[in-house]
Chains A and B, each alone.
Chain A
Amino acid sequence: EAQVTQNPRYLITVTGKKLTVTCSQNMNHEYMSWYRQDPGLGLRQIYYSMNVEVTDKGDVPEGYKVSRKEKRNFPLILESPSPNQTSLYFCASSLMWTNTGELFFGEGSRLTVL
């Protein structure tokens, strides 16, 4: 089954404790992206990647890191989480060159930073 898998789905952590949210897709998509969703602010893009070893900042990259060492994986790293990073996070992927606009989303990771 074609899917984007995120882990963990739910996480409560404390300020400053490094964490990684993993994202994996099995569709051989070149493009992958991370978004955060907050009430009243909609979806905001954190980082995106157009292919292996190619990443770029989105609208709200501060406090986050990403890497793209393999095509299927695009982990989101919070080196020193803060309470303002409490949010619902989504990973998404798509085929780059068809431009059909069909982004495939994971089910989301709800992060709480105390």
Chain B
Amino acid sequence: GNSVTQMEGPVTLSEEAFLTINCTYTATGYPSLFWYVQYPGEGLQLLLKATKADDKGSNKGFEATYRKETTSFHLEKGSVQVSDSAVYFCALPVEGSQGNLIFGKGTKLSVKP
């Protein structure tokens, strides 16, 4: 079945640094891929998504490109802010199941001023 692996955290960066959080997946076919974000004390919310190979999802300065050759969907941001401190989850659908997602274990990002 489908699975996802993302880099372990925590990740600590200074403000304005470049961010990469790695995510690789195993899947049958080419499912949609997602990044969710969990701010402190809140539930998860969708950050961005890509629905087919070579698509680039973007939101709030974050980007991720669906790369089928490397089965990857790495999250990037050129200049992080303190307000980006959160836990980030890569996700993809359970094989054959609509609406049901598999999540990576999450990567905690802390941005220092």
Q: Which residues of A pack against B, CB within 8 Å?
A: 4, 30-31, 33, 40-43, 45, 48, 50, 90, 92, 94-97, 99-108
Contacts and interface: CB of A to CB of B under 8 A. Distances in A.
Contacts of B104: 42
B89 A108 contact: no
B100 A48 contact: yes
Interface in B52-108: 89, 91, 93, 98-101, 103-106
Contacts of B101: 101, 103
B75 to A, nearest CB: 15
Interface residues of B, number: 21
**A-B pairs with the 4 shortest C-beta distances?**
A105-B43, A42-B105, A31-B99, A43-B103
B48 to A, nearest CB: 10
A52 B102 CA distance: 22
Interface of B: 32, 34, 36, 41-46, 49, 89, 91, 93, 98-101, 103-106
A95 B43 contact: no
A100 B48 CA distance: 11
26 contacts: A30-B99, A31-B100, A40-B105, A41-B105, A42-B106, A43-B44, A43-B89, A43-B103, A45-B100, A90-B43, A92-B43, A92-B44, A95-B99, A99-B32, A99-B98, A100-B32, A100-B49, A101-B49, A101-B101, A103-B36, A103-B46, A104-B45, A105-B43, A106-B43, A108-B42, A108-B43
Contacts of A43: 44, 89, 103, 106
